[in-house]
Structure 1
Amino acid sequence: MVKIALAGGTGQVAREVIDALLARNKHEPPTTEDGTAEVTFLTVDYNDTDSLAKALLGVHTVLSFIQVHSDPQNKSQKNLIDATIVAGATRFAPSEWAGSTLTDMSLHAGKAEIREYLEKVNEKGKVLEYTLFQPGLFLNYLAAPYQTAKYVAPLQTMFDYQGRRGIVIDEHDPIFTFTTVEDLAAIVANAIEYDGEWPVIGGISGNRVPISKIIEIGEKVRGGSFIIDHVNVDDLQIGKLKMSWMPAEGHRSFNQEQAAKIIEQAYIGILLSSTKGAWDVSNDFNQLFPDYEFTQIEAYLNDVWKGKP
């Protein structure tokens, strides 16, 4: 049994992970006499490394879910890393939870800086064990507008199953990795129980599918052809996204005024980076837990969309 701390622990993905950890009943905090699980919530000052370190005393593993785009100069996460080391914690996972390479993903630029920061921490010898949890995109998003996870809210992507719409990149058919958030949470729980050393690159590959297959599955489970928009890399590289539609809502971490610009920027980044392999994540944790059965994309989406208008 080890003590685990989650920074940004009230976020959607963090709460999925908390539930997966509590279901094991192997880590602090233990269950109470009446069988209910206790989670301690602390308000901390991420600008004060000393107080952060005090809050982390006795903690074995720190998982960060800090919103990178809301952390100017990555100060909060850098201070968290420093405090983790001062407190003597063994393991750390930065706020990744997406793709592998960060090229063309301006919204994820802070993740690259944190990766470099962690590399420098260990450049003269192992100081902190860490992994970059990378599950690709959440398969749950292809169920939008229906919520299939307990906490993670629906998020419409460029593969709109409800509207029977999709997008392809001319002369490219890049691979995307889709993993349910439930599978991610289960793998994180397995990783915390794992006695060996964490791999630095923590790929979690639920499903590897090219864009053409995503659309093919969509047309099959939705019972009809999709309207397809074609984009080309040259347009994407100069910041142009020629789509006949855009999602009505974005991620809840952005307000409505930011949403339209952020969504377009995100789509351009995702599509352009996909041609460079950013969303074809590795299977490092699949190899560590070969008996784990991941949710399969076609069966999952068939169940989600069966009988839906």
Structure 2
Amino acid sequence: MVHIAIVGAGNVGREIVEELAAQGKHQITVFSRKAELPEFSNPGIAVKRVDYKNRDELVDSLKGVNTVLSSVSIDSASKTQKALIDACIAAGVRRFAQSEWGQRSDAYLPGQEFKREVHRYLQDINADRQVLEYCLFQPGLFMNYLAYPYKTTRYLHITPLFLSVKEKQAIQVDDGADWLVFTDIQDMAKVVARAIDYQGNWPEIGGMVGSRIKMKDLIKLVENVLGESLTIHTVKREDLEKGQAHLPWVPPLSHPKIPVEQQEAVARRIFPEFLMAGVRGDIDVEPSWNKIMPDYEFTDIEALLRRALPQKS
């Protein structure tokens, strides 16, 4: 048994916390900066209020902790994580997972700069020798998004990407030959739990692959599961690169922090970046953890969709 500190336990972090708690192997403490601490039904989860600006308090809170898993949101994320990293080193923490949990952090998507900044900080600290073992857990995109609006997660808020099984529409770039990686978030949480017990060094870039598929083949797979065709919209890469792409349709954005009346405008602003990330290969992550854990059976897209979508009689 080791002591694990979870920093940021909403959405993605909550999925990881609950999986670790359900396995019951380790001591778990959730760090929170909020005055009103989150509540968990599992009595094995402790919650501690922490001031990330108070170095001495942070170091003291981390004493005896083996692994820190960070899933802090974008607001002040790089400052918070740098403070955490410094405190981890001072407190003798063995392992640190930065707030990654998606496609490659060198993918130039909106809101990714803080991930690149924290990664560079970890690289600089470990330049001469390993001071703090760390990993960037990269599941690509959560395949749970593909089932929207049918929920396949306990806590992750989902929104459609690239296609909508409800509206029966999809969008692709050119011939749809770009490779994408999708992983079920519950598989990711289980891999993280296994990684805690892994005795070797964590890979610096910890990609994992539930399904690797070309966009055009993803559309065909979804059509096969639905038993009907999707309306396919095609945009040109050259138009995306020039910032001149006309998107006749975008997947409906669903996010609790974005007012409903603003969601389509926000989707039209950011979705071209996701399309470009696909054609650049930014979502095609390496199967690092698959190789370390060859016995683990990941959920594939077809299995998840057939489980989630209403079946026709």
Flag the 1:248–1:171 CA change in 2: closer, same or farther, 3 A: closer
Q: Deviations over 1:42-72 (max 9, x none)?
A: 222222232222221111000000112x226
Residue ranges of structure 2 left out of the alignment (5+ in a row): 30-40
User: How big is the shift at 1:153?
Assistant: 2.3
Residue pair 2:171, 2:250 contacting (<8 A) in 1 also: no
Aligned positions of 1:211-290 closer than 5 A: 211-256=215-260, 259-290=263-294
Measure how far apart 1:305 and its partner are: 1.6
Structure 1 range deviating more: 257-266 or 229-238:
257-266
The one-character-per-residue Cα deviations of 1:200-231 (angstroms, maximum 9, x if unpaired) are 01011110010011100111111211111111
What is the aligned-residue identity percentage? 38
Cross-structure match for 2:2: 2
Q: Residues 114 and 149 of structure 1: is their aligned pair in 2 closer, same or farther, counting only changes over 3 Å?
A: same
Counterpart CA distance in 1 for 2:280 and 2:252 is: 28
Report the Cα offset of residue 127 of structure 1.
0.3
Tell me which stretches of 4 or more aligned residues in structure 1 moved more than 6 Å: none
- Structure 2 counterpart of 1:107, from 87, 107, 111: 111
Distance 1:123 1:262 in 2: 39
Aligned residue number for residue 28 of structure 1: 27
Displacement of 1:116: 0.5
CA contact (8 A) 1:136 1:281 kept: yes
Structure 1 294/75 Cα, relative in aligned 2: closer, same or farther at 3 Å? Answer: same
Q: In structure 1, the residue corresponding to 2:243 is in which secondary structure?
A: coil
Q: Deviation at 1:104?
A: 2.8
Partner of 2:32 in structure 1? none
Tell me the matched-pair count. 302
CA distance in 2, matches of 1:54, 1:144: 43
Alignment of 1:115-264 (within 5 A): 115-256=119-260, 259-264=263-268
Q: Distance in 2 between matches of 1:253 and 1:178?
A: 24
Structure 1 counterpart of 2:44, from 14, 23, 38: 38
Aligned letter for 1:42?
K
Report the alpha carbon displacement of residue 282 of structure 1 after superposing the two structures with TM.
Answer: 0.6
Task: Say what the alpha-carbon RMSD is for the aligned residues.
Answer: 2.1
Rounded Cα–Cα distance in structure 2 between residues aligned with 1:241 and 1:148: 32
Worse-matched range after superposition: 275-284 or 299-308: 299-308
Alpha-carbon separation, structure 2, partners of 1:99 and 1:91: 21
- Give the Cα–Cα distance (whole angstroms) in 1 for the partners of residues 5 and 141 of structure 2: 24
Q: Name the TM-score, length of structure 2 as normaliser.
A: 0.90
**Alpha carbons of structure 1 residues 47 and 265: separation in structure 2 relative to 1, 3 Å:** farther
Q: How far is 1:251 from its partner?
A: 3.1
TM-score, scaled relative to structure 1:
0.91
